[in-house]
Amino acid sequence: MREIRPLTGLRGVLAAWVVLGHLWAPAVPQFPRLVELARPALGGSLVVDTFFVLSGFIITVVHGERMASFSWARARDFWRHRFARIYPVYALSLALFIAFVAVTQRLSDPPVPSAVIEPGSVIRNALFLHSLPDGMVINPPAWSLPGEVVAYALFPVLVLAVVRIPRAWIAFALAALLAIAGASLIAATYTDDFGYSLYELSWMRAGWAFPAGCLLARGWTLMGPRGRSPVWDVIAGLGAAGVVVALLAGDPSPTFYLPPAGLPFLCLVVVGCAGATGWVARALSGRLVVWGGRISYSIYLTHYVVVLTYVEVVRRQDLATASVAVRAVGLALTVTAVVALGAAFYHLVEEPARRAISRPRRAPAVSCHV
């Protein structure tokens, strides 16, 4: 299938939002005026929900019709390609973070306690079991992957119901109801100290967002030629505006911010970008933005090591008292290192491993590099 470039570009924008959000807190002491950006910075938590919606959407577009009837052979083939897509980069990024924690234990006041890399924790993380009760995630951004893995495991069954929806409006209505239900449940449960590391919230977020993405894909596919027009640019813009309003209206805690009112609007952003042919499509289809989307998964899993290194350098070298030029260069070098490390993982690990594991059968072209 031909790549849906605006969705790939959207992934690049979302990955940048995550990185900048994680860099915001350590950068504030050096650039105090950044404190005014607390809502959009901490609101990067919404990115994960968007990734879940995107994942369900693209996987359904690519695999939906092919898996319309259940077959163990097709299910195994799907799971093999999903494993090839996510595990090699995950395993190597986990090893990188373990090495970082081990090396920094030699420092006084290490940034990460040694307890996170005890053998039991390493095994649980290697098996995607760190989001079960009492689990401890080693590489913080990887907290979301167990939910994604469970979604992949259930997809061959879930898709059987999705592809039997006969009308686009029914699929869209079901997606809307699911998004509102998910947002309502999270709003009823979420408090300022209920952070992303608690397993309950991660399952809630994957539980509504991935199936909603599948339903959106079914509705969009049933639209046929009407699924591609400038109208979808407007829909994407309205969704983005809704997310912005939700971010500005909420009250973030010092460390975490998930405005539930913004969650349903994420669905509009995703389906709108899929069908966009105007200004949204042009903005998200540029070569650099699309390349950022292709390496976004590798950036997502590797950037936190660079962020923690930056935090330690700032703290131990007292960069907060350095000149503005020195502080700006330090931040720019950190962003450059994030991109370089993510690109290296993508080109040297992610893509070669995916091609190797996907043989001898050829996988369908996965749009947006889900």
Contact at 8 Å (CB) between 39 and 32? no
pLDDT digits (tens, 9 = 90+) for 71-113: 999 999 999 999 999 999 999 999 999 999 999 998 888 989 9
Q: 82: exposed, middle or buried (C-beta count within 10 Å: 0-12, 13-18, 19+)?
A: buried
Q: Can you give the pLDDT at residue 370?
A: 55
Most confident of 39-43, 134-138, 154-158, 255-259: 154-158
Q: What is the Cα gyration radius of the chain?
A: 20
C-alpha span between 312 and 291 (Å, rounded): 30
Question: Which residue from 149, 296, 251, 133 is spatially nearest to 201, judged by alpha carbons?
Answer: 133
Q: Cβ distance 1 to 367 under 8 Å?
A: yes
What tokens appear for 40 in the block?
């959009």
Q: How confident is the model at residue 363 (pLDDT cuts 50, 70, 90)?
A: very low
Q: Up-side HSE of residue 161: CA atoms within 13 Å toward CB?
A: 11
Task: Give residue-wise pLDDT tens across range 197-255.
Answer: 455 667 888 999 999 999 999 999 999 999 999 999 999 999 999 999 998 887 766 55
For the chain, what percent of residues have pLDDT higher than 70? 92
> For the residues 313-319, what does the mean pLDDT come to?
80
pLDDT at 365: 47
Q: pLDDT value at position 133?
A: 75
Given a cut of 90, is residue 16 above it in pLDDT? Answer: yes
State the number of CA atoms in the 13 A half-sphere of 324 facing the CB: 3
Average pLDDT over residues 319-326: 82
HSE-up (13 A, CA, CB side) for residue 125: 23
Type of residue numbered 95 = A
String of DSSP letters for 99-157: HHHHHHTTSSS-SS-GGGGSHHHHHHHHTT-TTSTT---SSGGGGGHHHHHHHHHHHHH
- Residue 310 and residue 303 in contact, taking contact as beta carbons nearer than 8 Å: no
Q: Cβ-count burial of 195 within 10 angstroms (0-12 exposed, 13-18 middle, 19+ buried)? A: middle
Average pLDDT over residues 282-310: 96
Q: Tell me the pTM.
A: 0.91
Q: What mean pLDDT value characterizes the chain?
A: 89
Domain residues for 307? Answer: 5-369
Number of domains in the chain: 1
